[in-house]
């Protein structure tokens, strides 16, 4: 290379005299060349790993897989990945290890997220339970069991037979 080149898409160059660009941070998107800082924050409902270059395009986006607290990393980091079922992803999500980017957040007990690419979890409906930390499919109460709202009062009825 005989002359200085603009920093590549997917990277940024914050300092003068750089001889190597810095890969775009987790939770960010570097969609332009010549950046001194990442130019876009990862949108809600998505996870941006290091080096993301493109804004979400739902046609070609794959779902980020999380199994038993192990993150399965996709082959390509060029595009954001959809937040998985059972999790919510706020703006700036990209953490798969201990970094400053936000982590995908498990919905938690008594809430769920049934769809990929969710930015919020929903309360588990009455008549169903959501017992795990990352629920995506509420479980119907079996016969002999119930689940209502916290303020349900059971009325006692006195039946008199004549």
The pair of three-digit structure tokens given for residue 127, joined into one six-digit string: 């008549």
In contact, 116 and 136? CB cutoff 8 Å: no
Residue 67 is predicted with a pLDDT of 54
* pLDDT of 29 higher than 70: yes
- Cα gap 61→49, rounded to integer Å: 13
pTM of the model: 0.74
Residue range 78-132, pLDDT digits in tens: 788 888 899 999 888 887 665 677 888 899 999 999 988 888 999 999 999 999 9
- Cα gap 135→52, rounded to integer Å: 28
Which helix (H) or strand (E) element contains residue 22? strand 22-23
The pair of three-digit structure tokens given for residue 95, joined into one six-digit string: 């953490």
* pLDDT of 75 higher than 50: no
């Amino acid at each position: 290379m005989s002359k200085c080149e603009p920093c590549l898409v997917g990277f940024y160059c914050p300092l003068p005299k750089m001889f190597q660009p810095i890969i775009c941070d987790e939770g960010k998107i570097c969609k332009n060349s010549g950046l001194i800082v990442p130019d876009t924050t990862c949108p809600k409902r998505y996870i941006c790993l290091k080096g993301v270059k493109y804004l979400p395009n739902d046609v070609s986006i794959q779902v980020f897989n999380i199994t038993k607290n192990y993150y399965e990393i996709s082959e390509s980091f060029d595009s954001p990945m959809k937040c998985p079922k059972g999790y919510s992803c706020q703006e700036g999500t990209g953490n798969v290890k201990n970094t400053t980017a936000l982590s995908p957040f498990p919905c938690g007990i008594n809430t769920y997220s049934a769809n990929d690419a969710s930015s919020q979890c929903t309360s588990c409906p009455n008549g169903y339970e959501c017992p795990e930390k990352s629920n995506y499919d509420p479980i119907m109460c079996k016969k002999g069991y119930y689940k209502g709202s916290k303020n349900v009062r059971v009325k006692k009825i006195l039946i008199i037979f004549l």
